[in-house]
Structure 1
């Protein structure tokens, strides 16, 4: 080291020298004598510091290592120095006495001891004779002599410079040779490696330590044993009900019934092989590794089971509200809603069922009304609203009352979006309660009428009315309900004009017949129905641009309205029903509107042709299914319907202002089709028919201006009629008894003849007169898409 003349001796200061106990007087060996002389010299120097000579500064500055004080030691034989043991060699003798101070070598990072290194020379310090004599160790006193006076007290080393400090010997790790530490650590590592290898070898082929599946410990087992254990403990769980919780609902699901099973191979594959990471192996001694179960699943069955259990889990939030029960406001506490993801719930159950109870994920849907907002609306609005009745006073002191117990029909609440409730007022509900009580104080307006007096239309003037203006009367309803006292106000009346005033009726221009048609040939029952329906539409007014509907104007046509059973067409053949025969009125009305220039909105021809109606210019109706409707195309003039019925015919006239002329051109009949024959049991439900051919025919309507003759429109309508089937109502002959004699070899009369063979039908009796020849042709097809005739319902009026 530097400052040491190239030697490897560590530096020392004069403070390192400590006083030592006197040595025994036994003759020391050469090495120990030198060591004793050095110690004695140190003690003398400490006792007589004033002795100095010219070499004092050199001796004082020479490197010195303090010896650690020890107990007096017994004399020992000098040990022969061995090679490489680190003992100092014996200094060569000289003529000049010297004091040898041994240097204690301290192992350090820079100069560690080595058993194989050559023995180092211990540096010696030469002391002049005078000083050497002064520092010689005095002889030890006899045991009985008085001990010499103690030397000066030892000086405490500076911090960090004594035992345990950086420059003094101590017992810390820094004093242990690195080789020793390395050997120890290497030994530990070797032991650990051996233990690791032994653990890895012994566990080869086994399930890693600490592994559990659904809480079942299988660590350390072979794969086969692990599967056996799992099958024994997990298998029964498939058929055991599992508790399922979904929000505030619960239920049970049996996994096997929900389409779940266990994939044993995939489950064991999750376990994996023995971990090679030593830390993972060490951690396995102190914890478990849950790997879970791989389930097989039938998604449809699983979804069905989840739906059954969680059907009640999903519900909408219930907002806070106030309802009224017998006039008492009742708060409805807000309650959050729940949403359930069925797919996510299925996945969770499929994964967690082996562990027992399963909680399915639900999403909470929050409400907007707070408890504070609910309480505020209750105290400030609802409670005052039912404090007393609401009174409305009309003409002549008539009083209408809205009772407090009915306030709930007039007042409700809705969330205001800020945590509170907004009041919702319903004047129409209040009017429904109050108006009937003041009806006697009102005068209804009367529309002007157009009547046929003396065969000519005339206007009967309308009259004004006087009605309660409920909108104005109840405009202060919120303030009234907020007031607990003085809830009485006056009704507001206003004059009401009729819907059709006298001036408006006169401006409709109803002054002449613009279309008329008559038909007859109906039987009695049909006549009853026709005249009744005709009376209902007589006087009907069709204002400019309005549409008239026969079914809509007459309403129901049943027995309660006076209609009787008459002819209809059912399933393509004649039948009977209450209200039958109205098609005769429909056909007559259609033709009157046809020639009056009305716009055809809806009309349907019969499925087969009826000879008393004009071909391709007739209409059938059936309540709720088939209607007749036309529109008044004029923008200024109205149309008045007049009906005249007798026992044999019906006439319809349309009055208005004539603006057009109408011409009808009926085409030739083509594409004839023959009827088929239908045989039915005789009885009230069978109406015989001789049948008729079907055919196709067209009708062209040409509309021209009445003043100029200019053509306005030219439209052709094609109609295809089905053949009328031949209907035979038959009844079998009564079977003869066993006692009745038979002709021709014992067969009953009318029975099967020998020529007909076994199984021939018995003779039949027809209940109708002449019939059309039978045919094997099937019924004619319905109109093609190019024809105008729409589909027919199963029943139509005749």
Structure 2
């Protein structure tokens, strides 16, 4: 034991120096404690931003800068690619308040404080959290950009001279993002506002080279050892050669470390559909017959189509499980095709009685032929509850290719000739049938000048591609349309269930206008006429409940007819 009284002068001097230094350091640290009270820790750096010895307002400015960075898109880099992603899509959240509190926290250990006084900096991590479920889901979506997929082993065929030869596709390892390490890295570096390099890890494919070799020698060779026959309905059979099979067959990973046969559905369907199409059956919708004088339901019939998925699965199983000496026959699978309107649905539509009927007459022979054609097209149309009926859509084109002929039309206020003339007479007849059935008028257009064989303000014209007649079945029952034609008149009859009564009131004529004079070049298309006065009138439709008589709706439509010009052919 050393006696301090008897210690050497040198030792006593050293002790005094040490005590002095300690006292000086204590004074320095104590002074720094006072000077930095209410400020951030000296030497603090957060996300690369110097943040030491800042007062509250200055610290808030740093945190605001970090908050601004927190809305920037994040640039992710890996060994194999890059992507730019919104922070929310990575599940990142920056806690500004907690980060500021961490900055304002003064170190209790004197050593870090002394080192800071001497100029050494220390990192303060911003408070960041990450939602792993969101992060993992986004990385799943970015696999093609950020990761190198493992190459799964497989088998394909080379086809030459009608011979299919199996070829091995050897597996290769891939690289993927190491998720746990990547999440940690991202939280630490996100707010540095620089690209973040995500750590990667190697991973192996599920199929080994050994499995590929075994498949080539076994199932892949057996598959093309002999033809396979597909037997369809109606005694139709299709022979598929080994070369044809090799052009559509591959072996792919089954997710359990093995390989399974896979037939290319698009190419196989293109190859086989022409030969098997005749074995398919179209579904037939239920409809109605009026042969007995009242509607009876003509039953629907299910159809069938080739179920290609099941057929290809059976084919793959058959050819890979058989050798050349086995019978290689596959029954073509069929899936039922249901009609759009079944017998049961048709019977529930309430098509049982005539709810409206309208007839017009007085057309020429040419117009009559066009009216006959369009009436035949519309005959038997069914409008289900809630559906719209468009005359132009239902008939499609009405040109010479469909048998329509040239007849009189109205063009720019005067008579002219064009293919399909006379269709407007059928449109007027159909419109009135829908009118008196109480159906909703979606759109219709009157003729530009009045034609005496039509009801005033209760008629319609159509023009392909421009002017249409559309009504909606706003009842709870189906509407079955029957048409009848003779050389002198055309009739439209609607069958359903009576729910309303319809009254039509035609208003008085007023605001007459005189016809202008018009001179046109002589020719087949010039039709001379004496003209007629124009006027304005209206029609009011009153719809009442058929059972109670209570008024349901009342609508007035005002129509202005132009004067028909005095036309001279000169």
TM range (shorter): 0.5 to 0.7
Conserved 8 A contact 1:388-1:484: no
Query: Structure 1 residues 580 and 494 mapped into 2: Cα distance closer, same or farther (>3 Å)?
Result: same
Provide, for residues 577-616 of structure 1, a one-character-per-residue CA deviation record: whole Å limited to 9, x for no partner: 1111010000000000011011122211112221111121
Is residue 597 of structure 1 aligned with residue 438 of structure 2? yes
Is residue 610 of structure 1 aligned with residue 451 of structure 2? yes
Distance 2:353 2:419 in 1: 36
How far apart are residue 565 of structure 1 and its match? 0.9
How far apart are residue 400 of structure 1 and its match? 3.1
Identify the match of residue 449 of structure 1 among 287, 296, 303.
287
- Relative contact order higher in (CA < 8 Å, ≥ 6 apart): 2
Structural mapping, 1:70-85, within 5 Å: none
Is residue 392 of structure 1 aligned with residue 233 of structure 2? no
Distance 1:588 1:398 in 2: 50
Identify the match of residue 658 of structure 1 among 472, 494, 498.
498
Q: Per the alignment, in what secondary structure is the counterpart of residue 663 of structure 1?
A: strand
Q: Per the alignment, in what secondary structure is the counterpart of residue 516 of structure 1?
A: strand
What root-mean-square deviation, in Å, do the aligned CA atoms of Structure 1 and Structure 2 show? Answer: 4.2
Partner of 1:106: none
Query: Structure 1 residues 537 and 729 mapped into 2: Cα distance closer, same or farther (>3 Å)?
Result: same
Is residue 709 of structure 1 aligned with residue 536 of structure 2? no
Distance 2:473 2:376 in 1: 21
Partner of 1:67: none
How far apart are residue 537 of structure 1 and its match? 1.1
Is residue 688 of structure 1 aligned with residue 528 of structure 2? yes
Aligned pairs, how many?
A: 356
How far apart are residue 531 of structure 1 and its match? 1.2
Structural mapping, 1:290-329, within 5 Å: none
Conserved 8 A contact 1:402-1:433: no
Partner of 1:583: 424
How far apart are residue 518 of structure 1 and its match? 0.7
Structure with greater proportional helix content: 2
Query: Structure 1 residues 587 and 428 mapped into 2: Cα distance closer, same or farther (>3 Å)?
Result: farther
Conserved 8 A contact 1:549-1:629: yes
Is residue 473 of structure 1 aligned with residue 311 of structure 2? yes
Distance 1:388 1:720 in 2: 79
Identify the match of residue 640 of structure 1 among 477, 480, 487.
480
How far apart are residue 651 of structure 1 and its match? 0.8
Structural mapping, 1:402-551, within 5 Å: 427=265, 430-465=268-303, 467-474=305-312, 489-551=330-392
Distance 1:698 1:535 in 2: 32
How far apart are residue 700 of structure 1 and its match? 1.8
Distance 1:654 1:391 in 2: 53
Q: Per the alignment, in what secondary structure is the counterpart of residue 686 of structure 1?
A: coil
Query: Structure 1 residues 699 and 392 mapped into 2: Cα distance closer, same or farther (>3 Å)?
Result: same
Query: Structure 1 residues 530 and 490 mapped into 2: Cα distance closer, same or farther (>3 Å)?
Result: same
Q: Per the alignment, in what secondary structure is the counterpart of residue 548 of structure 2?
A: coil
Provide, for residues 428-451 of structure 1, a one-character-per-residue CA deviation record: whole Å limited to 9, x for no partner: 664454344234444544333311
Query: Structure 1 residues 464 and 679 mapped into 2: Cα distance closer, same or farther (>3 Å)?
Result: closer
Query: Structure 1 residues 580 and 469 mapped into 2: Cα distance closer, same or farther (>3 Å)?
Result: same
How far apart are residue 485 of structure 1 and its match? 8.4
Conserved 8 A contact 1:669-1:696: yes
Partner of 1:558: 399
How far apart are residue 488 of structure 1 and its match? 5.9
How far apart are residue 406 of structure 1 and its match? 8.0
Provide, for residues 31-52 of structure 1, a one-character-per-residue CA deviation record: whole Å limited to 9, x for no partner: xxxxxxxxxxxxxxxxxxxxxx
Distance 2:554 2:262 in 1: 58
TM-score normalised to structure 1 length: 0.39
Distance 1:559 1:516 in 2: 30
Distance 2:299 2:291 in 1: 14
Query: Structure 1 residues 661 and 432 mapped into 2: Cα distance closer, same or farther (>3 Å)?
Result: farther
Is residue 572 of structure 1 aligned with residue 413 of structure 2? yes
Query: Structure 1 residues 446 and 681 mapped into 2: Cα distance closer, same or farther (>3 Å)?
Result: closer
Greater mean deviation of Cα atoms: 456-465 or 699-708: 456-465
Provide, for residues 217-251 of structure 1, a one-character-per-residue CA deviation record: whole Å limited to 9, x for no partner: xxxxxxxxxxxxxxxxxxxxxxxxxxxxxxxxxxx
Identify the match of residue 558 of structure 2 among 698, 708, 718.
718
Distance 2:340 2:312 in 1: 24
Partner of 2:512: 672
Distance 1:386 1:617 in 2: 72
Query: Structure 1 residues 596 and 403 mapped into 2: Cα distance closer, same or farther (>3 Å)?
Result: farther
Distance 1:643 1:702 in 2: 25
Distance 1:403 1:687 in 2: 70
Structural mapping, 1:277-296, within 5 Å: none
Structure with greater proportional strand content: 2
How far apart are residue 696 of structure 1 and its match? 1.9
Partner of 1:90: none
Distance 1:716 1:650 in 2: 27
Distance 2:278 2:554 in 1: 56
Partner of 1:63: none
Conserved 8 A contact 1:401-1:434: no
Distance 2:396 2:464 in 1: 8
Distance 1:527 1:457 in 2: 27
How far apart are residue 711 of structure 1 and its match? 2.1
Distance 2:283 2:433 in 1: 33
Distance 2:417 2:242 in 1: 56
Partner of 2:50: none
How far apart are residue 729 of structure 1 and its match? 0.7
